[in-house]
Amino acid sequence: MKSDVTLAIETSCDETAVAIIGEDGGILCSEVSSQIELHSRYGGVVPELASRNHSADLRPLIEHAIKRAGILWADVAVVAATSGPGLASSLLIGGTTAKAIAVSLGVPFYSINHMEGHLLSPFLGRKDPVPGHIALIVSGGHTLVVLVNGVADYEVLGSTKDDAAGEAFDKVGKMLGLPYPGGPEISKLATEGDPHAFEFPRSMIDSGDFSFSFSGLKTSAMYLLRKLGGAPCDTVVANICASFQEAVVDVLVAKAIAAAKRYQSDVLSVSGGVSCNPRLRERIVEDAGKEGVLVKLVDPIYSTDNAAMIAFAAWARRRAGIRESKLSSDIDPNMSLSP
Ligand code: KG4
Ligand code: ZN
pLDDT digits (tens, 9 = 90+) for 150-193: 999 999 999 999 999 999 999 999 999 999 899 999 999 999 99
Ligand 1 atom with the smallest distance to the CA of 170 is 14
- List, in order, residues 6 or more apart from 164 with CB less than 8 Å away: 138, 139, 140, 141, 142, 143, 214
Say yes or no: 284 and 156 in one domain: yes
Asked, for residue 339, whether it belongs to a domain, the answer is no
Closest C-alpha among 128, 168, 148 to residue 251: 168
Q: Residue 148: in which H helix or E strand, if any?
A: strand 143-150
Instruction: Give me Rg for the CA atoms of the chain.
Output: 20
CA of 50 to the centre of ligand 2 (A): 15
Are 139 and 8 in contact by the 8 Å Cβ rule? The answer is no
Strands lying side by side in the sheet with 267-271: 153-159, 143-150, 133-138, 267-271, 294-297
Which CATH number goes with the domain that contains 60? Answer: 3.30.420.40
> Looking at the structure, do residues 147 and 184 belong to the same domain, yes or no?
yes
Same domain as 84, residue 210:
no
Q: Indicate whether 259 belongs to any domain.
A: yes
Name the closest ligand to CA 303: 1
Q: Give the per-residue pLDDT at 153.
A: 97
Confidence of residue 94 (pLDDT cuts 50, 70, 90): very high
User: From the CA of 182, how far away is ligand 1's center (Å)?
Assistant: 8
Which residue's CA is minimally distant from atom 3 of ligand 1? 304
Clarify whether residues 311 and 184 are in a common domain. no
Ligand 1 geometric centre to CA of 100 (Å): 31
pLDDT value at residue 3? 81
Structural domain includes residue 332: no
Q: How far apart are the first and last CA of the chain?
A: 38
Pocket test for ligand 1, best of 91, 176, 304, 334 (most atoms within 8 A of CB): 304
Over residues 54-59, the mean pLDDT reads 95
Domain contains 327: no
Instruction: Indicate whether 293 and 258 sit together in one domain.
Output: yes
Which of 274, 281, 335 maximizes ligand 1 atoms within 8 Å of its Cβ, making it the mutation to test the pocket?
274
3-class SS at 34?
strand
- Which of 85, 72, 75, 81 lies closest to 100, judged by CA? 81
With respect to residue 331, please indicate whether it lies within any of the assigned structural domains.
no
Do 115 and 181 lie in one domain? The reply is no
Quick check: is 165 in a domain? yes
pLDDT surpasses 70 at 1 = no
> Is residue 194 located within the same domain as residue 104?
no
Lowest mean pLDDT among 29-38, 189-198, 262-271: 29-38
Q: What is the DSSP letter of 225?
A: H
Q: Is the pLDDT of residue 223 over 70?
A: yes
Same domain, 228 and 151: yes
Cβ 48 vs Cβ 339: under 8 Å: no
**For residues 339 and 322, what is the distance between their CA atoms, to the nearest angstrom?**
14
Of 34, 87, 169, 298, the residue with max ligand 1 atoms within 8 A of its CB, to mutate for a pocket test, comes to 169
Residues 231-251, mean pLDDT to the nearest whole number: 97
Based on the domain organization, do 162 and 278 belong to the same domain?
A: yes
H/E segment holding residue 133: strand 133-138
Q: What is the mean pLDDT of residues 69-81?
A: 98
Mean pLDDT of the chain: 96
Ligand 1 center–CA 303 separation, angstroms: 8
Q: Which ligand is nearest to the CA of 183?
A: 1
C-alpha span between 319 and 295 (Å, rounded): 24
Distance 235 CA to ligand 2 centre (A): 32
State whether 110 and 146 are in the same domain.
no
Residue, of 150 and 44, whose pLDDT is higher? 150
Query: Both 160 and 274 in a single domain?
Result: yes
Question: What was the pLDDT predicted at 43?
Answer: 78
The one-letter code for the residue type at 18 is V
| Domain membership flag for residue 261 | yes
240 lies in the same domain as 285: yes
Is pLDDT at 254 greater than 90 in this prediction? yes
Residue-number span of the structural domain to which 241 is assigned:
133-297
CB atoms within 10 A of CB 291: 12
Q: How many domains does the chain have?
A: 2
Q: Is the pLDDT of residue 142 over 70?
A: yes
Within a domain: 182: yes
Ligand nearest to the CA of 304: 1
Position 291, amino acid: E
Q: Whose CA is nearest to atom 16 of ligand 1?
A: 273
> What local confidence, expressed as pLDDT, does residue 202 receive?
98
pLDDT in tens, 114-140: 999 999 999 999 988 899 999 999 999
* Ligand 1 pocket at CB < 6 A: 13, 139-141, 166, 169-170, 181-184, 187, 272-274, 276-277, 304-305
Which ligand has its closest atom nearest to the C-alpha of 139? 1
